[in-house]
Amino acid sequence: MGNYKFILSGGGTGGHIYPAIAIANELKDMYPDAEFLFVGAKDRMEMEKVPQAGYKIEGLWISGLQRKLTFKNMLFPIKLVSSLLKARGIVKKFKPDAVIGTGGFASGPLLRMAAGKDIPCVLQEQNSYAGVTNKLLANKVKKICVAYDGMDRFFPVDKIIKTGNPVRKDLVEMNVSKQEALEFFGLNAEKPVLLVLGGSLGARRVNVLIKEQLPLFKSLGIQVVWQCGKLYYDEYKNCQTDDVLVFDFLNKMDYAYAAADVIISRAGAGSVSELSIVGKPVIFIPSPNVAEDHQTKNALAYADKNAAILLREKELDLNFKTVFTDLLSSKEQQLKLSENIKKQAFPNATKNIALEVEKLLKK
């Protein structure tokens, strides 16, 4: 039987949406006749990104709790009841064979209702510190796919499967040579390349750091491929030179990774998983402004295994120059970091998650 029906729910940020789309694509390869429906939060980016990927989506009137007393918080109970009722209607009408949640508040009502109807549900937790929604749903679902060790702090141990995080296929099958990548960007093969990633919207503190350090990079003879993000492009586009290429967004990530000798990045779950497969030396500068400081915890899990360097934002002024210069001058350290980060990679993560869903369907 291939005409299964799947609901995927998760959103609020790309870190929840893109894994859901990757899992849907994998299930579609396995079951070409299957039907898919996504459920997200009405006013968030999934309402745009999911249709772009070719899938239908329904929106719930839901948002997370703010940390301080606000009007939005007073609306939360009404939104929750509204979302639970709409989720119940969606489940009743669509009649899914399985439901997959990738985190974010929109997945809470949907999986709660599906599990209550005894529909097999799978959670996918991207981070080393579990999100609130997934923690609340843990006892209701059949399986929980994770990317890090020690997740039994949050979830029942008998439900945990370590699969890794879904990663885009073009990176798993990356077949761009360094030479091709350098030619694509118009870079000099004699000079090292630093790739800077602050996420699609950008990261203010990372951008401030890079601008401050441009004289250092010049003195070291380094070329920079700098994704500063859509929010900051107008501010930093004037930094462009022959050796400093500034982008709002990098569409050809496989070329950017192939060109790089060293990478500076935030430590969101998706970035960390991609960089493990890429296998280049990485300096993680985690955002301190995310729930439960999970980016720092993601980066720490790698730094503890000598698989990456962790620099907190508050340490940048004091330590960046020394740490970066030492890394650039030591081929031995670069090689060790590359070897160790590759050991953390799960190139078959998406397939493994889809196989866990398949096992539940066969039960």
Residues at the binding site for UDP-N-acetyl-alpha-D-glucosamine are 13-15, 127, 168, 200, 295
- Distance CA(59)–CA(44), nearest Å, equals 9
- Distance CA(80)–CA(38), nearest Å, equals 18
- Distance CA(361)–CA(230), nearest Å, equals 42
Residue 122 structure tokens: 């799978």
Edge-first strand order for the sheet with 35-41 is 57-60, 35-41, 5-9, 98-101, 121-125, 143-146, 160-162
Say how many residues make up the chain: 363
Residues annotated within a binding site: 13-15, 127, 168, 200, 295
Beta-bridge partners for 57: 38
Specify the DSSP element, H or E, that contains 92: helix 71-94
- Distance CA(296)–CA(361), nearest Å, equals 36
Helix (H, G, I), strand (E, B) or coil at 175: coil
Dihedrals φ, ψ of 143, to 5°?
-140, 150
- Distance CA(361)–CA(349), nearest Å, equals 19
